[in-house]
């Protein structure tokens, strides 16, 4: 791949636009580099990728118009393969169903007109029926963090393409959670807009009355940037299109109230890590100025059950009725069984379910008199691909516990990364609010991302320090974007961390809660050893500098910057035998960092061969069958 562009450095939208503005990169060179990278697809991300010549044509068209006129100038994106791109087959993950549209879906056309470049069509659960990403004849799409685990569905490929750094954003669809579950499993923002905000013309329907086009992004700010282009105007050709309405409130205010289901109504399906991480998220929102309000989750649960136990299954059948009646043998199980179940329902069943839904919505909507938004886990747990394929219906239903009700009740939602399990798999939460409150949710999502400070996706993209407080006009050239100024060095102390304080690991909040900022991901000089201190499970690493006559290695560290006023309280919480000393980095500079007393490693396991604590935890999880 081009030395100026690697998958790890494609980054978020502003980062790429800045590189274009500086002349370091052009869209033409970008598409050449990305095309070279996506030829290897062992994770079953893509159903179709555009030929290099087609990508060059898109790039040249953007270059001819110039950056000032195009808010998404040269930005690569992926399209779920139930959304039309002119001249490219749409399969909905069913080869026998495939057709080649003459024009692009409304949302795709708007993005291309704004300068975005489509890279290809991505894998999905067939006919967008599933939340797990394994229901495709093109292969089970693999999780970006651990290929033995599910990626989430049905917008599986769109999420993994972004998480791996192959694009800067991607499009999915969301009927029952398909734009949120994959976001949670791949450490991404998954934005499900108010129904009708994004046109669904040119989208193969799942449940046409409920379907939404969704946006996967690395940051909440990127999702909002894409929204401003994709939702630019009412679409008269879409019978479910709605005019966007503004919000008279904003989550950038210091105080807000968020609803949380009662403790006995929370479900984690035996996953203690998810439960721990959700509890930490509640505390995080309280630290941001939120007040937790316990709510009765019963009407939400009952509404969720209507989606697959009622006539909305018949709507899935109606979406592909002509094809299904003749070619049902081309539909894979269990999708075929789900759609065939439509014949159980009568017109009377449909009306009775609609009446019940309206009653449940009336009950559910009462919570908005007490709270500004609802907070839930996006998903209670995650499964291996093998486990999902052995029990596809029950486990898939578990994945929809917190998602299935959202479109039925006409709410907007944003899935947000919220930490990592000890085995390295991501965890996410979802914020929901009434229709047309989308910008409020995106701003709160941005604040949460900033508070966590996690690197989004799986490709090591740095997290920007602040969520923009004001929208940037689409006509402002990207080189004029303003970002937060660097900290005053005299008021900051840099500290190197090598264990549970690393981004995404359990103690990272001790840094971010003190306004810590990640400054570099690097290694020590090659004269250290790393040990797993005794304990079960191993929770602490011990970093020791070796003598000249010993063989050391370079160990992965992150360098964080803390305000001087916060450093004392941070150090005070470090338990013996760990302490703060001087560590030499790979470039020869010296910083403060975690070191371990030598006596404590006498009976400890030398894990230096792994090169860092993350890799050690990953291998440990595999050896114990956890990942």
Q: So which residues are the catalytic ones?
A: 80, 154, 178
Please tell me whether residue 363 adopts helix, strand or coil conformation. Answer: helix
**Cα gap 122→135, rounded to integer Å:** 13
Backbone angles phi, psi at 523, to 5 degrees: -135, 165
Q: Give the angle subtended at the CA of 194 by the CAs of 320 and 215, to the nearest 5°.
A: 75
**Cα gap 233→241, rounded to integer Å:** 9
> Tokens 């937060």 identify what position?
484
Q: Which residues pair with 203 in a beta bridge?
A: 83
At 552, list the tokens. Answer: 């050391």
**Cα gap 354→506, rounded to integer Å:** 44
**Cα gap 394→381, rounded to integer Å:** 13
**Cα gap 486→447, rounded to integer Å:** 19
Structure letter (DSSP) for residue 485: P
* Inter-residue contact 104 to 114 (CB < 8 Å): no
**Cα gap 627→624, rounded to integer Å:** 8
- Neighbouring CB atoms inside 10 A of 469's CB total 9
* Inter-residue contact 590 to 583 (CB < 8 Å): yes
At 127, list the tokens. Answer: 């006919």
At 521, list the tokens. Answer: 């991901």
For the residues of 260-315, what is the DSSP string, one character each? Answer: EE-GGG---TT-HHHHHHHHHHHHHHHHTTEEEEEE--HHHHHHHHHHHHSTHHHH
**Cα gap 350→359, rounded to integer Å:** 14
* Inter-residue contact 122 to 78 (CB < 8 Å): yes
For the residues of 314-346, what is the DSSP string, one character each? Answer: HHHHHHTHHHHHHHGGGSPTTHHHHHHGGGG--
Packing angle of the helix pair 220-230, 438-452 (nearest 10 deg): 150
Indicate the helix (H) or strand (E) that contains 226. helix 220-230
**Cα gap 114→27, rounded to integer Å:** 14
> Tokens 């555009």 identify what position?
50
């Amino acid at each position: 791949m081009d030395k100026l562009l690697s998958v790890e450095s494609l980054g978020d939208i502003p980062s790429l636009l800045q590189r274009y503005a500086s002349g370091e990169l052009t869209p033409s060179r970008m598409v050449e580099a990305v095309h070279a990278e996506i030829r290897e697809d062992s994770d079953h991300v893509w159903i179709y990728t555009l030929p290099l010549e087609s990508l060059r044509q898109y790039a040249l068209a953007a270059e001819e118009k110039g950056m000032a006129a195009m808010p998404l100038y040269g930005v690569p994106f992926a399209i779920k393969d139930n959304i039309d791109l002119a001249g490219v087959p749409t399969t909905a993950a069913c080869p026998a169903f495939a057709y080649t549209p003459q024009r692009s879906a409304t949302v795709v056309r708007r993005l291309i007109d704004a300068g975005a470049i489509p890279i290809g069509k991505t894998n999905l659960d067939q006919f967008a029926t599933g939340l797990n990403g394994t229901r495709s004849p093109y292969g089970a799409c693999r999780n970006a963090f651990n290929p033995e685990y599910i990626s989430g569905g049905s917008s599986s490929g769109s999420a993994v393409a972004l998480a791996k750094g192959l694009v800067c954003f991607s499009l999915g669809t969301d009927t029952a959670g398909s734009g949120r579950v994959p976001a949670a499993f791949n450490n991404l923002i998954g934005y499900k807009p108010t129904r009708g905000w994004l046109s669904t013309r040119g989208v193969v329907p799942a449940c046409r009355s409920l379907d939404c086009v969704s946006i996967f992004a690395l940051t909440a700010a990127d999702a909002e940037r894409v929204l401003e282009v994709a939702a630019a105007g009412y679409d008269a050709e879409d019978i479910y299109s709605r005019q966007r309405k503004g919000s008279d409130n904003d989550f950038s205010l210091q105080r807000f109230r968020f609803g949380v289901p009662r403790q006995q109504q929370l479900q984690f399906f035996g996953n203690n890590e998810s439960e721990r991480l959700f509890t930490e998220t509640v505390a995080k929102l309280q630290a941001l100025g939120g007040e937790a309000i316990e709510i009765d989750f019963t009407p939400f649960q009952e509404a969720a059950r209507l989606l697959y136990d009622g006539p909305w299954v018949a709507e899935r059948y109606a979406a592909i009725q002509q094809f299904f009646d003749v070619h049902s043998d081309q539909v894979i199980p269990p999708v075929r069984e789900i759609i065939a179940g439509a014949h159980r329902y009568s017109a009377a069943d449909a009306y009775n379910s609609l009446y019940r839904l309206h009653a449940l919505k009336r009950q559910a909507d009462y919570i908005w008199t007490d709270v500004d938004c609802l907070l839930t886990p996006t998903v209670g747990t995650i499964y291996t691909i093998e486990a999902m394929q052995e029990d596809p219906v029950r486990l898939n239903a578990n994945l929809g516990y917190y998602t299935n009700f959202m479109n039925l009740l006409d709410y907007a939602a944003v899935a947000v990364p919220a930490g990592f399990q000890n085995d390295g798999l991501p965890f996410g939460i979802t914020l929901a609010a009434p229709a047309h409150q989308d910008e409020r949710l995106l701003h709160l999502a941005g604040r949460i991302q900033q508070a966590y400070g996690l690197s989004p996706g799986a490709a090591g993209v740095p997290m920007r320090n602040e969520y923009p407080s004001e929208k940037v006009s689409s006509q402002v050239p990207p080189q004029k974007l303003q970002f937060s100024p660097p900290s005053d060095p005299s008021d900051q102390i840099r500290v190197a961390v090598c264990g549970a304080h690393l981004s995404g690991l359990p103690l990272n909040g001790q840094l971010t809660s003190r306004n810590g900022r990640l400054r570099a991901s690097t290694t020590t000089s090659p004269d250290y050893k790393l040990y797993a201190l005794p304990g079960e499970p191993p929770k602490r690493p011990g970093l020791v500098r070796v003598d000249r006559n010993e063989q050391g290695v370079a160990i992965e560290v992150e360098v964080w910057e803390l305000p001087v006023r916060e450093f004392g309280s941070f150090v005070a919480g470090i338990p013996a035998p760990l302490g703060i000393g001087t560590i030499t980095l790979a470039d020869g500079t010296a910083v403060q960092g975690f070191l371990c007393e030598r006596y404590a490693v006498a009976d400890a396991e030398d894990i230096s061969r792994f090169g860092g604590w993350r890799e050690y935890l990953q291998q440990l999880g595999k050896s114990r069958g956890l990942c």
